[in-house]
Amino acid sequence: GSFSDRNLKKAGYAADPRTDGSLDRLRLVEIDITALTKNALADSSLTSREQLRCKNFTALGIALWMFDRERESVLRWLERRFAARPELVDANRRALDAGHAFGETSELQQLTGYTVGRADLPAGLYRTVTGHEALAFGLLDGAFNTDLDLVFCSYPITPASNLLHDMARLKSFRVKTFQAEDEIAAVCAAIGASYAGSIGITSSSGPGIALKAEAIGLAVMTELPLVIVNSQRAGPSTGMPTKTEQSDLYQAVLGRNGDSPIVVLAAATPSDCYAMAREAVRIAVHHMTPVMLLTDGFLANA
């Protein structure tokens, strides 16, 4: 299982926390999620490896039961996400139901649980968006206000990749997207778009921003508007794609050779991403300068 000596050592534990007394003040319920998943998918046509990938939904089913949350929205998301693979929709649904059923029928039913109530908010019109979705709308609004076509050039890198997808969905609003062969090509294409009379925008994360540094200096010296979105990840060098960190400020402000200052903005919340993206475009066009907008992995995708 997961609590092998090797895995415990890798996680920094000297002893198994299940048996060393450190969790005595808590009620510990051991759940073999792998076995639950395999039992739920015993007659599935998926391979054993594909079945194991569904265990996250078994765990999610347990969590939904514990927090008294509905499953319908998760099932709708599954149908959209795996529309081309109905067998995956069915397998993950069965795993979700298995986890939920475990909570209903096992000793977990003795737990009080925790119900998240409705938020006490003033009346009004609200929209739930991720940071990247808000960024896409903000960049689009900024381009509208400057009366320029928007050209978004990017190379896929976690956690920035979703922004390229969100921009591609706006193609009916004078938005053009270009997936380049590498980071340098992406930023150079964005600079070329600005030179041709559009507003060029590119995105990346820390390692990709490092590769774009020389071209950003070119935009500084040619006085061209350019927006660079940095969805920060954790760690130096290549970093950790699935971890978040807010550690690229010095890189954003000082990370170029020569005298090449740029404007640096940072978003604080998903809704703030909209305002900051709009402001980044305004500043870039008004002052004919590159502007870097800092977000992070959690902010962009939550």
* Confidence bin at 112 (pLDDT 50/70/90): low
Read off the pLDDT of residues 187-239 as tens digits, 9 standing for 90 and up.
999 999 999 999 999 999 999 999 999 999 999 999 999 999 999 999 999 99
Does the CA dihedral 296-298-301-302 come out positive or negative?
negative
Closest CA to 54 of 97, 18, 25: 97
Question: Which pLDDT band holds residue 289 (cuts at 50, 70, 90)?
Answer: very high
pLDDT at residue 296, as a whole number: 96
Give DSSP secondary structure letters for 47-113: -HHHHHTTHHHHHHHHHHHHTT--SHHHHHHHHHHTTT-HHHHHHHHHHHHHHHHHHHHSGGGGS--
Residue pair 54/45 in contact by the 8 Å Cβ criterion = no
**263 DSSP β-pair partners:** 291
Q: With cut-offs at 50, 70 and 90, classify the pLDDT of residue 108.
A: low
Can you tell me the distance from the alpha carbon of 97 to that of 99, in angstroms, rounded to the nearest whole number?
A: 5
Cα maximum dimension of the chain: 68
Tokens representing 178?
């270009």
Q: Is the model's pLDDT at 122 over the cut of 70?
A: yes
Alpha helices in the chain (DSSP H): 5-10, 33-40, 48-52, 55-66, 72-81, 86-105, 131-146, 161-168, 183-195, 206-222, 249-254, 270-287, 297-301
Which tokens is 140 given? 């689009």
pLDDT at 58: 96
pLDDT category, 164, cuts 50, 70, 90? very high
- Tell me what pLDDT residue 172 has: 94
Q: Which residue has the higher pLDDT, 142 or 4?
A: 142
Tell me, what's the pLDDT at 128? 85
Residues 6+ away with beta carbon under 8 Å from 207: 157, 233, 237, 238, 239
Q: How do residues 233-287 score in pLDDT, each as one tens digit?
A: 999 999 999 999 999 999 999 999 999 999 999 999 998 999 999 999 999 999 9
Please state which of the ranges 75-89, 106-120, 177-191, 262-276 shows the lowest mean pLDDT. 106-120
